[in-house]
Amino acid sequence: MPFERIRGVTNDPTIQLMKTREPNFNNLLKILKNEKPDRPTIFEFAITGNYLKPNADPSVPECWDWFPSNPFLASAHKNLGYDFCCGMGSKFGFPTPKHEKGASVGLAHGGVVTDQKSLRSLDWKNPEDFDYTHLEKAILPDGMGMIVRSPGGVLEVLTELFGFEELCYQIADEPELIEETLEMIGTRMVKYFEICASIPQVGVLLHSDDWGFKSSTILSPSQLRELIIPWHKKIVEACHKQGKPVILHSCGKLDEVYEDIIALGYDAKHSFEDAAVQIESALERWGDRMPMLGGIDMDFLCRKSPEEIRARARKLLEMTADKGGYALGSGNSIPDYMPYENFQAMNRVALEW
């Protein structure tokens, strides 16, 4: 939805209700322990700037550094009813076409790695060479916490570097090249998480790495176990070593690897799609062993009426009211094209509970 269409809604009753909620990051921490929070909690790992801008405090200078320490973004998250601000730990990134161009690119083709020479010729940065002091100096609204997310994910970066079709060929034909590439990705990703998790002001980490699409995993489960999951294990261990919970954001139909995700020790799973697995089903199947965040399908949120959205949100909170281990939110994120009244309808159920 264009920003101009939502500029005038910040005085409506829902926004006023959101602004009266005092942040309490401990509620999210309880959910990540699979416990019942003191009140229903809402969760998003990404919200369009068009929804954040009109809800930020006018007294805070506008700034679009996507860091959780950014007072402008933090004030918007607070005024929308969230207990945290989520963003990047630094400007560190990988030499992928997506990162270099600053825009979405097709992943089937267009990779930049074809052999060892092309791999080593890329401008590989090291996470320790970037600035993280803004996290240490963060001054957020009372009660708010910071979630630091990853600069992509292990499999995502691997796919972007090769292009999906080339990646499939290289896994079969040049396993040593895949192993070397993963070493360059994985060691840097682990170091990034080690740095961020070591900062006392950082409360939670989030690894965003899509493993699937609506009908299956992107690579076979055996390939994920051989190539990708060992690096995830190191990342989880790095976070837990510092006493910090870590969330996995991963899209797709992951039924065949859910036991692997649970075994890795991730403290919660985020990203659900009705065509892959409904959040209600996921809660019934795995909720006793893994907290879950969000889950209301993006298409459902965009196409259904506010009344239908409220009914589904209410059902989810009723399912988890006694047990806990769940935060209400979308199946993925809040984009510009989502009707603003639908976004409000979902969150208002939690805020009024």
Task: Output the DSSP codes for 163-205.
Answer: -HHHHHHHHHH-HHHHHHHHHHHHHHHHHHHHHHHTSTT--EE
Assigned token pair, 296: 């209301």
Domains in the chain: boundaries: 3-351
pTM for this one?
0.93
CA angle 184, 203, 146 (to 5 degrees): 90
pLDDT at 6: 46
The amino acid occupying position 156 is: E
Please list, in sequence order, all residues whose beta carbon lies within 8 angstroms of the beta carbon of residue 32, skipping any fewer than 6 positions away.
Answer: 204, 245, 247, 267, 268, 291
pLDDT at 21: 85
pLDDT at 3: 38
The closest alpha carbon to 326, from 23, 69, 39, belongs to: 39
**CATH number among 3.20.20.140, 3.40.605.10, 3.20.20.210, 3.65.10.10, domain 3-351:** 3.20.20.210
**Contact yes or no for 118/112 (Cβ under 8 A):** yes
pLDDT in tens, the chain (353 residues): 333 444 444 455 555 556 678 999 999 999 999 999 999 999 999 999 999 999 999 999 999 999 999 999 999 999 999 999 999 999 999 999 865 555 555 677 778 999 999 999 999 999 999 999 999 999 999 999 999 999 999 999 999 999 999 999 999 999 999 999 999 999 999 999 999 999 999 999 999 999 999 999 999 999 999 999 999 999 999 999 999 999 999 999 999 999 999 999 999 999 999 999 999 999 999 999 999 999 999 999 999 999 999 999 999 999 999 999 999 999 999 999 999 999 999 999 999 98
Q: Which residue has the tokens 């074809």?
A: 114
Structural element, H or E, at residue 327? strand 326-327
